[in-house]
Copies of this chain bind each other. A is one copy, B any other.
Amino acid sequence: MTAWQRAPFQLFYWPFIQGRGEFIRLALEEAGAEYADVARMPESEGGGAKAIMAVLRDESLRPPPLMPPFLKTDGLVVAQTANILQYIAPRLGLVPEPLQARVAAHQLQLTVADFIGEAHDVHHPIAISLYYEDQAAEARRRAGHFVKERLPKFLGYFERVAARAADSGDDWLLGPSLSYVDLSVFQLMSGLSYAFPNTMAALGPEIPRLSELSRRVAERPRIAAYLASPRRLAFNEKDLFRHYPELDE
């Protein structure tokens, strides 16, 4: 047994992208949790993408994950990003205690998930089995609608959520303490700003609270240290959020 196999949280996600795994990395980092990013460990130590495939093929799991990210913890293999966050957040102190707040947090996280799916499909509107270049014309058409309709709709929604929190005197979306949803909104804002810089600059005045919330997340000591570390992968054009200038306004 290598060291990472004793880590209380073992994250399995593709090693070269932020992707959906990043929402989980941010939660573990903010909490200062001891975790292994398994597929980024050397193959000689049981890491690499091979480690992901081994779990996907493990016939003893019920149910198996369909795809990464998934997390091994407590002897369980938990899949689906929002499900993982919901499961670990209480232990990490990243969600308020009352059931009502937990249901609200998960509702917001699932709305983040919907938005991420739409943002991904901007560069892959036809099939994930095709390269971007093979669906660039359709991507361009979809992007026109995404930046004009969907992006303002979703960000406008989260801005309203942030405004109501502020009106109640809360510093964060779910209350006086930071939750995993705040971290996810930061990641959403980061990814969109990378992928659609012109659109996001133009939209800036309409989403002041989201911009300010993202800045405050980035300044949290553990998040700031993480973002400056080699553990934070750079955005790139194999990732969920991709910068293709022709898809931006």
Contact = CB atoms under 8 A, between A and B. Distances in A.
Interface stretch (A39-47, A137-145, A206-214): A137-145
Interface string A114-125: 100100010001
A111 interface: yes
A114 B120 CA distance: 13
Question: Does more than half of chain A's interface fall in helix, strand or loop, or is it mixed?
Answer: helix
Contacts of A149: 127, 129
Interface string A142-166: 1001100100001001001100110
Given A64-B160, A83-B106, 5 more contacts: A62-B104, A64-B164, A66-B111, A125-B142, A138-B141
Interface of A: 59, 62-66, 76, 78-80, 82-83, 86-87, 100, 103-104, 106-108, 110-111, 113-114, 117, 121, 125-127, 129-130, 138, 141-142, 145-146, 149, 154, 157, 160-161, 164-165, 168, 173
